């Protein structure tokens, strides 16, 4: 007996999946924004205060990086109301949980990016009379931002996939909708294949956007090539294994 693929079942239920996509995008975007804010805050505080005061933040980062995302989501969804008495709707508590997870990764990205700016470049700015705020805006941010973009992209792409865990708590996002269809038609392979492709499209769109930002921020641009050419260059070189020099 030969197996017959029944993708028609997926096409017939596509509107259901697309509804899920909307929720997934909403969850992911909110997570990225809130996660970035948390990450920036944690990174800056850790760089500015003494080690002993930064200890709670170190614990936060290590706990959220070192435990499964699923447990974090479930734990915050059920335990936060018990501990604080705060009644949050599902979306809010899920976004908070995921943002805490994403923020822990991003804080390390930001910290490394800021610390990576050469001491000498900062001193050169101080020596000509820049104030601390001007040094941050004119020297640290432009250099750090450019270097951090690829790493931020990684975390953002994982955030999209992380949102699939929300299906466990009944949030009707893409993964949940897919499972509903599977439960009705018993066609896991076809449904999961399409769901995976949709995740891939969302992830790749994010990657493209980060690539665009990288192009936009690139301060070493000997020749200003249009983005689509740059894109061709990047997609060509990204399959070659060699040390990456300046673009």
Partner 1 sequence: MTSAVKIKNLHKSFGSLKVLRGIDLDVAQGEVVCILGASGSGKSTLLRCINQLSIPDEGTVYINGDPIGNLLSETGELKKANQTTLASQRSRIGYVFQQFNLWPHRTVLGNVIEALKIVKKMNNADAEKIAIDRITEVGLLDWKDEYPDTLSGGQQQRVAIARMLAMEPEVMLFDEPTSALDPERVGEVIEVMKELAEKGHTMIIATHELNFGRDTADRAIFIDEGVIVEQASAQEFFSHPKSERLQSFLKRMSM
139 touches partner 1 by CB under 8 A: yes
In this structure, what are the phi and psi dihedrals at residue 21, rounded to the nearest 5 degrees? -60, -45
Task: Please enumerate in sequence order all residues whose Cβ is within 8 A of that of 244, keeping only pairs 6 or more positions apart, or say none.
Answer: 237
- Which residue of 11, 12, 55, 123 would you call a contact of partner 1, by CB under 8 A? 123
Over the window 146 to 165, marking each residue x when it contacts partner 1 by CB under 8 A and - when it does not, the resulting string is x-------------------
Binding part of the chain for partner 1, among 131-139, 193-201, 202-210, 231-239 by CB under 8 A, reads 131-139
Residue 165 and residue 73 in contact, taking contact as beta carbons nearer than 8 Å:
yes
Over the window 213 to 232, marking each residue x when it contacts partner 1 by CB under 8 A and - when it does not, the resulting string is ------xx-x----------
Nearer to partner 1 by C-beta: 102 or 125? Answer: 125
Name residue, tokens 């975007």: 29
Nearer to partner 1 by C-beta: 56 or 132? Answer: 132
244 touches partner 1 by CB under 8 A: no
Nearer to partner 1 by C-beta: 88 or 247? Answer: 247
- In the chain, which ranges are continuous DSSP H helix? 7-12, 14-48, 51-66, 69-84, 90-115, 119-127, 132-135, 141-162, 174-185, 188-217, 227-237
The structure tokens listed for 234 are 């990047």
- Which residue of 65, 121, 216, 232 would you call a contact of partner 1, by CB under 8 A? 121
Residue 35 and residue 65 in contact, taking contact as beta carbons nearer than 8 Å:
no
Task: Summarize as ranges the residues that interact with partner 1 (CB under 8 A).
Answer: 118, 120-121, 123-132, 134, 138-139, 142-143, 146, 219-220, 222, 246
């Amino acid at each position: 007996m030969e197996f017959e693929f029944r993708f028609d079942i997926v096409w017939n239920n596509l509107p259901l999946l697309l509804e899920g996509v909307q929720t997934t995008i909403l969850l992911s975007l909110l997570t990225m924004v809130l996660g970035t804010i948390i990450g920036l805050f944690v990174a800056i505080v850790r760089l500015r205060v003494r080690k002993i005061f930064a200890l709670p933040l170190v614990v936060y980062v290590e706990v959220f990086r070192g435990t499964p995302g699923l447990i974090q989501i479930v734990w915050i969804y059920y335990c936060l109301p018990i501990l604080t008495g705060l009644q949050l709707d599902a979306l809010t508590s899920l976004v908070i949980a995921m943002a805490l997870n994403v923020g822990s990764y991003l804080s390390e990205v930001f910290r490394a990016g800021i610390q990576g700016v050469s001491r000498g470049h900062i001193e050169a700015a101080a020596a000509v009379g820049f104030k601390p705020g001007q040094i941050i805006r004119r020297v640290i941010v432009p250099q750090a931002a450019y270097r951090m973009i690829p790493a931020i992209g990684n975390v953002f792409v994982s955030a999209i996939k992380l949102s699939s865990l929300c299906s466990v708590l009944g949030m009707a996002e893409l993964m949940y909708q897919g499972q509903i269809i599977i439960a009705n038609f018993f066609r896991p392979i076809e449904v999961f294949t399409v769901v995976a492709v949709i995740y891939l499209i969302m992830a790749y769109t994010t990657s493209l956007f980060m690539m665009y930002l990288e192009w936009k921020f690139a301060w070493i641009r000997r020749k200003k090539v249009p983005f689509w050419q740059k894109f061709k260059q990047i997609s060509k070189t990204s399959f070659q294994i060699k040390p990456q020099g300046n673009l």
